[in-house]
Amino acid sequence: MKYLVSLLCVVSSTALAHGPTPQKTDESVLVNLSPEVVWKKLSEPCAIQDWHPSVTTCEAPEQNKRVLTLKSGGKIYEEFDEVLVSEMKISYRLGANSDTKAMPVSSLNGRISIKAEGSGTRVSWMVRYYRVDTTNEPPPGTDDEAARNAVNAYVKQGLANLEASSPKK
C-alpha cells in the first residue's frame, strides 16, 4: 500500500508539470474577388506588404523565405514549406531570429487556403503555435494569452483588410 501511495504522488506531480499547450487560431473571410486574383495577392512572397496593415516592409532574401517588418518595428522571419498552386494553399512556419516582442511565440506553423465560394473567394487562415515562454509559469507578456492575442490580431487584421479591399457587391 505504501508503494501505491508513493506511485500516485509521483504520477500526480508529473501531471501538473506539463508545460505549454498548443494554441490555434482559425479564421476565414469571404472576399469579392476571383480565386485567381486573391491567389496572386497571397502567393507572391512580398505582396503581403500591400494587403496586411501590420506589415510595413518585406524582403525575400532567399527562395521560400521572407522577412517582415511590422509597424511595431519588430521583424518576423517566415519560411514557406509548401506553395501548392493547384490547390491554392500555402504552408509556412516561423523562422529563427524572429522578434518575440513582435510575435510572442516560440514556434508557429500556418496555412492559408483559398476556395471559390459563390461569386467570391473564401480565404481561410489557420495557425498553430506555442507561447514564447515554455516554462510552467511564464510571466505576463510571454504566456498563452499574449501569444493568442498577438496571433489572433495579426490574422484578423490581415483578413479584414483583404475583405475591405475587395469591391463591394
Q: Is residue 156 part of a domain?
A: yes
Q: Is residue 6 part of a domain?
A: no
What's the predicted TM-score (pTM) here? 0.87
Long-range contacts of 106-110 (CB under 8 A, 24+ apart): 106/20, 106/130, 106/131, 106/132, 106/133, 106/134, 108/151, 109/81
pLDDT class of 166 with cuts at 50, 70, 90: confident
Q: What is the domain extent for residue 38?
A: 19-164
pLDDT tens per residue across span 130-152:
999 999 999 999 999 999 999 99
- pLDDT reported for residue 165: 85
Instruction: Fill in the DSSP letter of residue 3.
Output: H
Name the domain count of the chain. Answer: 1
Q: Is residue 13 part of a domain?
A: no
> What grid cell was written down for 140?
505576463
Q: Which residues of 31-67 are buried (b: 16+ CB within 10 A; e: fewer)?
A: bbbebeebbebbbebeebbebbebbeebeeeeeeebb
Q: Is residue 11 part of a domain?
A: no
pLDDT class of 169 with cuts at 50, 70, 90: low
